[in-house]
Amino acid sequence: MNKGFVFAVAVLMVAIGGCGRPQQQVQKLGSSPALESVSLRDSHIEQALKAAGGLDKWVKTRQISLNAVVSLYKDDGSFYLTRQHYDVYPWSQAVRIIGGEPTGRYKWLLRDEDFELSGDVQGQQGSDKSEKRPYVAADLLFGLAPSEFAQSLLLVMTAPAHLLGRQMNVAAEKADLHRQPKVVRLQWSGPVKVAGRMYYRTSLTRTDTAQGKMVSVTGIRRVVFYQNAETDFLDRIWFVGDGSGTSFAVWGYDYRELEMSGIYVPSKINVYKTNLKGIPQEQIVGITIVSEI
C-alpha cells in the first residue's frame, strides 16, 4: 500500500496562513503514555489498535497534522467548500482546527472538555484594522456547533486511543480512594447491522464521569462507538442528544496509513444529523484529507 496522503483533490489546497504552532502549547498537548505502562484489558480496543497500525505506533504518535477540503452542507442541499488544517493530539484528547476565509482567519481548540474559539476579522475594504472576535467563522457550520464539529473530528480520528485512554484513567484513579473513576468499564454488545454492515458497539455516558459530563458538546448525554466486525476499525460514532441538543453521527471511510507515524486514520469523514435511533437523516459535513504535514 502506498504510504501517505496524496490525492487528486490536493490541487484545491492552498497554504493556510497562520498555521504555525506555538512550541510551548504543542509541548503541553503532545503527550503520550509509556508503552510499558499500557495494559490492554479489552479485546475490542486491542483489535481496533491492531487494525489501525498497532499499539506501539499509536503510543509513539503524539501529534497528527493534516490538511483537508471541507464541504459544509445547507438545508437546501447546497454546500460551502472551504479548507482547514488539523493538529490532532491522540493522547491529550485534543484537536486544533485552523482555517481562513475572505473575512479573516479562525482557530478552534478542543482539549478534553474545554473548547476555545479565536480569530482575526479583517477590517472593511481599504482599512488596515482587524478585530479580535472569538466566534469568527462559526456561522460557516449549518446545523452543527463548532464544538460538535471538533468533537466529531477528534473522536473518529483517535477512537482506539480515546477509549484506551479512558480505561487507563480508570485504572489509575481506582488506586486513589479519594478520587472517583472517570468512566466505568466498557460493555460491548452486538453484532448489529448498521448500513448493511455488522458492528459491535459500546458507549460512554454523562453519568460515567466525575463531573457529570463526558464531552464538551452541550446537550449530549451518550456517545456510542461502533466497531466494524469485518475490519475492526471504530469507524462509526453516534452522539445521542438529551433533548436540548441535536443527535448526530460521524462516519469514517477509506482508512489510509500515515507516512510519518504508520497509524491508520480515515481519509474521508462524513457527519450526519440522525433520528432518535441513530439513523442518518441528512449530511451536514464532508471532510476529505488531502495531505499530511
Question: Is residue 1 very low, low, confident or very high in pLDDT (cuts 50, 70, 90)?
Answer: very low
Name the 3-class secondary structure at 169. Answer: helix
**Is the alpha carbon torsion for 210, 212, 217, 222 positive or negative?**
positive
Q: Pick the more confident residue, 185 or 272.
A: 272
pLDDT at 126: 41
Higher pLDDT, 196 or 39: 196
Q: Determine, yes or no, domain membership for 123.
A: yes
Average pLDDT for residues 178-205, to the nearest whole number? Answer: 78
Q: Which stretches of the chain are assigned E, i.e. beta strand? A: 64-73, 79-89, 94-101, 104-111, 114-122, 130-132, 189-194, 197-205, 220-228, 236-241, 248-257, 264-274, 280-292
Lowest mean pLDDT among 115-124, 153-162, 184-193: 115-124
Q: Is residue 201 part of a domain?
A: yes
Question: Quick one: pLDDT at residue 241?
Answer: 78
pLDDT at residue 161, as a whole number: 93
DSSP 8-class letter at 37: G
More confidently predicted of 147 and 125: 147
Average pLDDT (156-167) is 90
2 within domain boundaries = no
Q: Which domain CATH number covers 276?
A: 2.50.20
pLDDT over 90 percentage in the chain:
44
Residue 11 placed within a domain? no
Q: What is the 3-state secondary structure (H, E, C) of 193-214?
A: EECCEEEEEEEEEHHHCCCCCC
Q: What is the mean pLDDT of the chain?
A: 78
pLDDT of residue 215: 47
Q: With respect to residue 257, please indicate whether it lies within any of the assigned structural domains.
A: yes
Which of 17, 31, 96, 37 has its CA nearest to residue 60? 31
Domain count, the chain: 1
Q: Is residue 236 part of a domain?
A: yes
CA 119 – CA 24 distance, rounded (Å):
19
Q: Determine, yes or no, domain membership for 46.
A: yes
Residue with cell 458507549: 203
Q: Is 113's pLDDT higher than 80? A: no
Instruction: Please check whether residue 281 lies inside any domain of the structure.
Output: yes
- Residue 143 structural domain: 21-292
- What's the pLDDT tens digit per position in 8-47? 333 333 333 334 444 444 446 767 676 666 778 889 999 9
